[in-house]
């Protein structure tokens, strides 16, 4: 339980390796094939709050895929392209009606997407969700990052 609250590998292995391990573990447990690639992230001096927020965004996005999408494949891209960190999470699952879900997010208790939106807002970022039923879902997150 403590590992889930604070993955120690964020401190020891770094953000991209920790996400890579998460993807491997999800494959072992759920047989979800996840194509994870990162670029430009290792050179950034991210504080722990930003690292854990990005990790949680990936974790929640993949958790939603496992729980709801019936997908067999997912894609995660984490890229630094000045002045933003860009996170893309996609799947080939059953998709959903984004407008309908966002209207009922509080009524249905869709805490996963709600918590993702809150994390992104705390990072002064933007999140876009596109989904096509029977095709899949694409989550695009853009977080501003300026070296201090």
**17, 7 Cβ separation under 8 angstroms:** no
CATH code assigned at 78: 3.30.565.10
Cβ neighbours of 9 (radius 10 Å): 17
pLDDT (tens digit per residue) in 2-31:
345 567 889 889 999 999 999 999 999 999
At 93 the three-state DSSP class reads coil
Q: What secondary structure does DSSP assign to 18-67, as a single string?
A: HHHHHHHHHHHHH--EEEEEEES-TT----HHHHHHHHHHHHHHHHHIII
| pLDDT for the residue numbered 131 | 95
Cα 78 from Cα 23, distance rounded (Å): 13
pLDDT greater than 70 at residue 148 = no
Q: Which residues contact 57 (CB under 8 A, 6 or more apart)?
A: 87, 116, 119, 120, 141
Structural domain including 104 reads 2-144
Model-wide pTM > 0.85: yes
> Quick check: bond before 97 cis, omega within 30?
no
| Cα–Cα nearest to 15, from 64, 72, 53 | 53
pLDDT (tens digit per residue) in 118-136:
999 999 999 999 999 999 9
Domain total for the chain? 1
More confident residue, 76 or 1: 76
């Amino acid at each position: 339980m403590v590992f889930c609250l604070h993955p120690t590998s964020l401190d020891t292995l770094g953000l991209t390796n920790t996400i890579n391990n998460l993807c491997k573990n999800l494959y072992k447990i759920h047989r979800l094939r996840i194509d994870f690639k990162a670029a430009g992230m290792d050179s950034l001096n991210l504080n722990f709050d930003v690292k854990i927020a990005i990790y949680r965004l990936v974790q929640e996005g993949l958790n939603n895929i496992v729980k709801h999408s019936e997908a067999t494949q997912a894609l995660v891209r984490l890229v630094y392209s000045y002045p933003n960190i860009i996170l893309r999470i996609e799947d080939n699952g059953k998709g959903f009606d984004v407008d309908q879900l966002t209207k009922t997010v509080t009524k249905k208790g869709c805490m996963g997407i709600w918590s993702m939106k809150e994390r992104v807002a705390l990072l002064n970022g933007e999140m876009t969700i596109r989904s096509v039923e029977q095709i899949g879902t694409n989550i695009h997150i853009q977080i501003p990052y300026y070296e201090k």
